[in-house]
Amino acid sequence: MVIAIGFEGSANKLGIGIVKDGEVLSNPRHTYITPPGQGFLPKDTAKHHREHALSVLKAALEEANVKPEEIDVVCYTKGPGMGAPLVSTALVARTVAQLWKKPIVAVNHCIGHIEMGRLITGAKNPTVLYVSGGNTQVIAYSDRYYRIFGETIDIAVGNCLDRFARVLKLSNDPSPGYNIEQLAKKGKQYLEMPYVVKGMDVSFSGLLSYIEEKAPKLIASGAYTPEDLCFSLQETVFAMLIEITERAMAHCDSNEVLIVGGVGCNKRLQEMMGIMAGERGATLYATDERFCIDNGAMIAQAGWEMFKSGVVTPLKETTCTQRFRTDEVKVTWRS
């Protein structure tokens, strides 16, 4: 029996979760929410994490009914992510590991999402679409590594949606992407937009520039409503993602597809992926906002897997890196 605690703070969510042999005991988090029309700056996000670290840690221990001495391993997000928030969270993880005299494991954020998705859904060996505010990748496991089959060549899909939400001055509570999804449900008119798939990769920056420039004029003229534009943007970017995911599934002869990351909560993305999977005779696996959105339990779960396979990070190597690719990590816990 191994109990792992995970610290996640790579972006605007601070999460601390506790996992015991595949069972999530607690998973509280606190989100830094900025005013409408604004993003979140690294220094302000790090300040938020510092201010809430102890209260979230206390909540995680109380909810799990676990004492520090019962924890076997401390896990934290090494990267990828925003520098200042990563460092502020790693500092807390290093401190408790030393205070409690526990081993520490540095976890890749992307692999945290994948392992959490596999645990919650029961997917065995899926092709993974990982979509969030900072990452967009199509991934499949092969020979001890998670291989990246396709990815964005500029900005992440979540960043594209978030930045369009700023143009419309949508609320960041609970998240800009969620509020775009709700508006998109009421959209009736489709605006054709740039559709940029380059082999197995996608590009969203040109599409974003196009819609940022066009939106104010289209809305002012009455030709399109904000709801129409949210609908059109979602349909376009999700179709691009499903195209490259299907190609990866065909290459791998895969009959499972798993969506992870914050954008993976989107019901329309899940619906479109479900249609594609159904046409291929494949199964779609997805999770809800408890596990899609950045959280501590996913870092605890990935760290638990690593620790059980003999991985421990020496204290002097418990650094952070903003760029940490999914395919850099040797997956010692899978055959």
The pLDDT tens digits of the residues spanning 27-51 come to 999 999 999 999 999 999 999 999 9
In angstroms, the Cα distances linking 114 to 16, 72, 280, 299 are: 17, 22, 22, 10
> Can you give the pLDDT at residue 44?
98
Instruction: Give the model confidence (pLDDT) of 180-195 as tens digits.
Output: 999 999 999 999 999 9
- With beta carbons less than 8 A apart as the criterion, state whether 153 and 201 touch: yes
In angstroms, the Cα distances linking 145 to 117, 139, 141, 242 are: 17, 10, 6, 23
181 has binding-site annotation: yes
220 burial level (CB within 10 Å; 0-12, 13-18, 19+): exposed
177 has binding-site annotation: yes
30 has binding-site annotation: no
Q: Spell out the domain ranges in the chain.
A: 3-114+291-328, 125-288
Rounded-to-integer distance, Cα 333 and Cα 70, Å:
23
Low-confidence ranges of the chain (pLDDT < 50): none
130 has binding-site annotation: yes
172 has binding-site annotation: no
133 has binding-site annotation: yes
Rounded-to-integer distance, Cα 33 and Cα 15, Å:
14
Element (H, E) at 330: none
Tokens for 276? 């594609």
109 has binding-site annotation: yes
134 has binding-site annotation: yes
At the fourth CATH level, the homologous superfamily of domain 125-288 is: ATPase, nucleotide binding domain (3.30.420.40)
- With beta carbons less than 8 A apart as the criterion, state whether 48 and 32 touch: yes
* 3-114+291-328 and 125-288 have identical folds: yes
Rounded-to-integer distance, Cα 159 and Cα 157, Å:
5
Architecture of domain 3-114+291-328: 2-Layer Sandwich (3.30)
Coil, helix or strand at residue 61: helix
Instruction: Give the model confidence (pLDDT) of 78-130 as tens digits.
Output: 999 999 999 999 999 999 999 999 999 999 999 999 999 999 999 999 999 99
Rounded-to-integer distance, Cα 326 and Cα 323, Å:
10
